[in-house]
Structure 1
Amino acid sequence: MNITKEQVDALNAVVTIAITKEDYKPQVDKVLGDYRKNASIPGFRKGAVPMSLIQKQYGKAVLLDEVNKLLQTKLNDYLVEEKLDILGNPLPKVTEDFNWDADEFKFEFELGLAPEFTVDLGAKNKITKFNIVADDVLLDEQIERIQKQFGKLVAKDTVEAGDDIVGTFTNEEKGINNRTTITTEIFKAKKEAKKFIGKKVGDVVTVSTKGLFDDDHKLMDYLAVGHDDVHGLDIEVNFTIEEVNTHDKAELNQELFDKLFGEGAVSSIEEVKAKIKEDAEQQFAQQADQKFLNDVTEFLIAETKFDLPAEFLVKWLQTAGETPLTAEQAEEEFKKSENGLRYQLIEGKVITSNNLQITFDDLKAYTATVIKKQMAQFGQLNPTDEDVDGIVARVLSNKDEVKRLSEQVMSEKMLNLFKENVKFKTKDVTYQEFIKEMYGE
């Protein structure tokens, strides 16, 4: 057997594998011998079928199968030994007049090679890392929400200002059908808000979406429409009133504070606000980190220049999936996935260049943190190490969970690396300001 590589250019190569009869004949003979031992053919005793008959009936199929197995093994071994970094999978070059009756065969495989490039994390950029601050407006809203949540709910028949109105927004043309809770205070358009006053359960109120809220993004929450659809959305929607409720708000006293945070944990409204502010800003920090990670990703894709073996990849995509694609479909698929592929290569380069590795201890510690947060949400604030370790062991026995958590650990390592090495400016914003920044508006 002889394997050679022809370098077509920096991103493409052809590997040729020449196979002689000595390479495949011993295994082909062994398989045919096994067929002969087990063959049941009328007129012959089991195990006594002439080899010529076995060869005639099964010889070509066994030859093709064994040569293919040999090719795959030797090609994979060659790629590993030569340390060839390829994209996609090797593509066999089709030979129209291939002769399977010959003793020696020659096969050619096209390779798409990963490009050589460097990643400069310290390059000049316009990235902003946001610090989201829980302002007084947000804190007051949270306090009122808590008072309503722990207060007494009183059902009503008729809507008055300040009531909670449960119902469903619908618009058949836009496919809107979303059950939600509103109050008249949420509307920027006061004439639309007035339409609800005096209405009863079962009534239908029609409002216009144009200028309905002070921020069009709120249409995403109340109407369940996508971000791309909310800007300038000018349609009429029906709201069918299903419930009308008012709240006798809970008093801001020690009894409520103990329910919220545990006995004696806080003792004043100022301490409650401080606690809410701390919890909110921890959650906001995760969202700000995700935006920062996304912004760095987009920057690196735009600024890290390298070519891809596009023609090869389009050809490979035609046969890579379960359903074959036409050349035009594969071209379109390549365009859609190109940035993702570019970032996979950039991410791989960053990981190897900075020796980012995930140890089992990293995975255990991260999983334990996730589990403790989940347990805290259900009121288990002080689980024992034994309980947590037991859950960690069960979670990490699931391969899918290990893969998912490993990706999260690596993402966290990448985030920390970017924070240390990428030059950025920091900006304090409220949550509403951050939402606008996040969508680039």
Structure 2
Amino acid sequence: MNITRENKDALNAVVTVNVTKDDYKQKVDKVLQDYRKNASIPGFRKGAVPMSLIQKQYGKAVLLEEVNKLLQSSLNDYLAKEKLDILGNPLPKVTEDFNWDADDFAFEFELGLAPSFSVDLAAKNKVVKYNILADDKMLHEQIERIQKQYGKLVSKDKVEEGDDIVGTFTNEEKGIENRTTITTDIFKDKKAAKKFIGKKVGDVVTIGTKGLFDDDHKLMDVLAVGHDDVHGLDVEVNFTIEEINTHEKTELNQELFDKLFGEGNVSSVEELKAKIKEDAEQQFAQQADQKFLNDVTESLIENTKFDLPSEFLTKWLQTAGETPLTPEQAEEEFKRSENGLRYQLIEGKVMSENNLQLTFEELKAATADVIKKQMAQFGQMNPTDADVDGIVARVLSNKDEVKRLSEQVMSEKLMNLFKEKVNYTTKEVTYQDFIKEMYGE
């Protein structure tokens, strides 16, 4: 057997596998001999069927199967030996007049080669890493919410300022139907707020959405509509009042502090604010990190230039999935997936150049940490090592969980690397300002 490669250009090659009769004859003959031993053909004793009949009945199918096995193994060995970094899978070139009755065969395969490129993490870019702060306004609102949440709920007949109003927003034309709880002070439009004062359970209040809030994004929550729909939304919505409640605020005392954070952990209003600020900013940091990772990803795709064997990949996509695609469908699919493929190559390059690897011990430690946090949420603050190890073993016996957790840990490794090496600027913002920045406004 002889395998040769012709590079068409830097991204495309054709591999030719020449198979001679000597390469496959012994294997084909052995399979046919086994068929002969077990063949049951009327008029012949078992094991005494003439080989000519076996050859006539099974010879071509066995030949095709054995040659195909030989092709696959030899091509895989060749790619590994040559250390060829290919995209997709080798595509056999179809030959209309291929002659399976010949003794020797030549098979051609098209290859899409991975491009050669470099990644400059320290290059100048527009990536911003946000540091989200819980400002005094947010802390005040959180403390008010806690006081109401742990206070006494009192049902009322009529709406007054500051009351919780439970009801459903509807607009048939826009398909809006969302049950929510509001207070009149959430509205920027004071005329809209006044429409609720004095209303009773069962009353319907009609208000316009344009200019209703100081930030259109709040419509996403109260109306349950998507981000793209809230900007400039100018319709009337009906709010059917179902409940009217007020909360008698609970006192900010030691009993409340212990209930919130455990006995003795918080002992003053200032410490309460500090704890709320700490917890909030920890959650904000996760959101900021995710945006940072997304922005670095986009920046790397935009600034890392290389060509792809697009024609080859489009052709490969026609047969890569469960359902064959037309050339037009494959072209559309390539356009949709191109950036994902580009980042996959960039990420692989970054991981290789920075020796980012995941050991099983790291995976076990990360899994244990996740489990301990989950157990803490259910009040199990001090689980034994044996309990945690048992759960870790069960989790890591699930292939899907191993894949998910491995990707999560590797994503954290990439995040830390980007924080260390990417040239970014830092910006401190409130959470509301961060939401605006996140949506590009």
Partner of 2:342: 342
Q: Larger deviation: 22-31 or 284-293?
A: 22-31
Name 1:381's counterpart in structure 2. 381
Could you tell me how far apart the structure 1 residues matched to 2:177 and 2:62 are?
Answer: 60
Name the residue aligned to 2:104. Answer: 104
Please give the secondary structure, in 1, of the residue aligned with 2:3: strand
Superposed counterparts of 1:25-36, under 5 Å = 25-36=25-36
Q: State the one-letter code of the partner of 1:177.
A: E
Hey, what does 1:365 align to over in structure 2?
A: 365
Q: For 1:54, what is the secondary structure of its paired residue? A: helix
Residue 302 of structure 1 aligns to a residue whose secondary structure is: helix
Distance 1:185 1:63 in 2: 81
Matched, 1:69 2:74: no
- Please give the alpha-carbon distance, in whole angstroms, between the structure 2 residues aligned to 1:31 and 1:200: 87
What is the CA–CA distance in structure 2 between the aligned matches of 1:324 and 1:227, rounded to whole Å? 35
Greater Cα shift, 196-205 or 291-300: 196-205
When residues 57 and 236 of structure 1 are mapped into structure 2, their CA distance, relative to the original with a 3 A threshold, is farther
User: Cα deviation per residue 1:388-435 (whole Å; 9 max; x = unaligned)?
Assistant: 222222211111111111111111111111111112221111100111
Quote the residue 1:160 is aligned against.
160
CA distance in 2: counterparts of 1:164 and 1:45, whole angstroms: 92
- 1:235 aligns with 235
* CA gap 1:304/1:44 in 2 versus in 1, 3 angstroms: same
Q: How far is the alpha carbon of 1:157 from its aligned partner? A: 4.0
Seen in structure 2, the aligned counterparts of structure 1 residues 20 and 175 have a Cα distance that, compared at 3 Å, is: farther
Change (3 A) 1:20 1:266: same
Partner of 1:16: 16
- For residue 198 of structure 2, give the secondary structure of its aligned residue in structure 1: coil
> Aligned partners of 1:72, 1:348: CA distance in 2, in Å?
26
Residue 202 and residue 34 in structure 1: after superposition, are their counterparts in 2 closer, same or farther (change >3 A)? farther
Q: Which residue of 1 aligns with 2:212?
A: 212
Task: Determine the structure 1 residue equivalent to 2:268.
Answer: 268
Matched to 1:377, the amino acid is Q
Report how many aligned residue pairs link the two structures.
441
Q: TM-score, normalised by structure 1?
A: 0.96
One-letter identity of the residue aligned with 1:137: K
Between the aligned partners of 1:230 and 1:311, the Cα distance in structure 2 is 40
Distance 1:265 1:140 in 2: 20
Question: Equivalent residues in 2 for 1:34-183 (5 A)?
Answer: 34-183=34-183
Quote the Cα distance in structure 1 between the aligned partners of 2:85 and 2:177: 50
Residues 7 and 205 of structure 1: is their aligned pair in 2 closer, same or farther, counting only changes over 3 Å? same
TM-score by length of 2: 0.96
SS at match of 2:8: strand
Q: Which residue matches 1:6? A: 6
Greater displacement, 27-36 / 293-302: 27-36
Report the equivalent of 1:417. 417
CA distance in 2, matches of 1:55, 1:201: 88
Residue aligned with 1:9, SS: coil
Instruction: Letter of the 2:272 partner, please give it.
Output: V
**1:70 corresponds to which letter in structure 2?**
L
Distance 1:300 1:117 in 2: 12
In structure 1, the partner of 2:247 is: 247
Shift of 1:123: 0.6
Counterpart CA distance in 2 for 1:98 and 1:158 is 87
1:254 to partner: Cα distance:
0.9
CA shift at 1:194, angstroms?
2.4
Rounded Cα–Cα distance in structure 2 between residues aligned with 1:111 and 1:257: 66
Deviation per CA, 1:274-325, whole angstroms, max 9, x where unpaired?
A: 0011111111111111111111111111111111111111111111111111
SS at match of 1:202: coil
Which segments of 5 or more consecutive residues in structure 2 lack a partner in the other structure?
A: none
Letter in 2 for 1:288: A
Letter in 1 for 2:235: I
Q: Secondary structure at the match of 2:201?
A: coil
CA positional deviation for 1:56? 1.9
- Relative distance call for 1:140 and 1:35 in structure 2 (3 A) is same
SS at the partner of 1:299?
helix
Instruction: Report which stretch shifted further, 323-332 or 410-419.
Output: 323-332
Distance in 2 (CA, whole Å) between partners of 1:48 and 1:195 is: 99
Q: Which amino acid aligns with 2:342?
A: R
Distance verdict in 2 for CA 1:51–1:426, change over 3 Å: same
Q: Write the letter of the residue equivalent to 1:98.
A: F
